[in-house]
């Protein structure tokens, strides 16, 4: 094996209690290693991964920055996404399963860090699921069907604009996309 190549240890079984912790530790280790070996990425990796205490905080920050606009600030999206993650254990489990699927099923994805930050399929599915769970949560105060539909379509259009890929605002992936 060439010097400096990263070897990923065997992950814990899917849906185990330690899977999220193991995955978050892997992502942080990979980010730390890449920040040290590539100074041009250090600021990006620090602000997106290394400065956050959990996978949910990191993803909320990353997705908020991907979807923000001049009228929809990344800080508002961060709060929405983090609130949604904090109130839904099933969403957190699905996100870990989706991240694991992106990492271990895609032969081009050799790092968990790559799956988290770059793999479009992962962050589109995550965004869609967060939006679906979020519009029914306490963050939105609308109870009308029309209001919920408008919010889902609006956020889906933001994700489509950011990624160049269409997503259906009515689809929910249950984890392990």
- The dotted CATH code for 55-110+118-163 is 1.10.3130.10
Q: Is the pLDDT of residue 67 over 50?
A: yes
- The CA angle 24-27-30, to the nearest 5 degrees, is 150
pLDDT bucket at 139, cuts 50 / 70 / 90: low
Those residues whose C-beta lies under 8 Å from the C-beta of residue 154, and which sit 6 or more positions away, are none
The owner of tokens 């065997």 is 10
The predicted pLDDT at position 52 comes to: 97
Domain ranges of the chain: 55-110+118-163
Q: What DSSP line would sit under 103-129, residue for residue?
A: HHH-TT---HHHHHHT-HHHHHHHHHH
- Is the backbone of residue 16 left (phi > 0), alpha (psi -120 to 50) or beta? beta
Q: How far apart are CA 147 and CA 54, in angstroms?
A: 31
Q: What is the pTM of this model?
A: 0.78
d(CA 63, CA 66): 5
pLDDT in tens, 44-65: 999 999 999 999 999 999 988 9
């Amino acid at each position: 094996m060439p010097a400096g190549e990263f070897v990923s240890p065997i992950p814990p079984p899917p849906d185990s209690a330690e899977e999220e912790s193991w995955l978050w530790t892997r992502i942080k280790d990979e980010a730390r290693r890449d920040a040290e070996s590539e100074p041009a990425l250090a600021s990006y990796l620090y602000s997106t991964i290394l400065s956050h205490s959990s996978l949910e905080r990191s993803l909320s920050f990353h997705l908020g920055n991907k979807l923000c606009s001049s009228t929809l600030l990344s800080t508002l999206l961060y709060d929405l996404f983090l609130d949604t993650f904090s109130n839904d254990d099933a969403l957190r489990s699905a996100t870990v399963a989706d991240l694991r699927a992106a990492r271990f099923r895609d032969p081009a994805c050799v790092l968990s860090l790559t799956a988290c930050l770059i793999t479009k399929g992962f962050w589109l599915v995550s965004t869609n699921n967060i939006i679906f769970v979020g519009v029914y949560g306490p963050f939105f105060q609308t109870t009308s069907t029309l209001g919920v539909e408008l919010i889902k379509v609006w956020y889906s259009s933001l994700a489509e604009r950011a990624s160049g890929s269409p997503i259906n605002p009515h689809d929910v992936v249950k984890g392990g996309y």
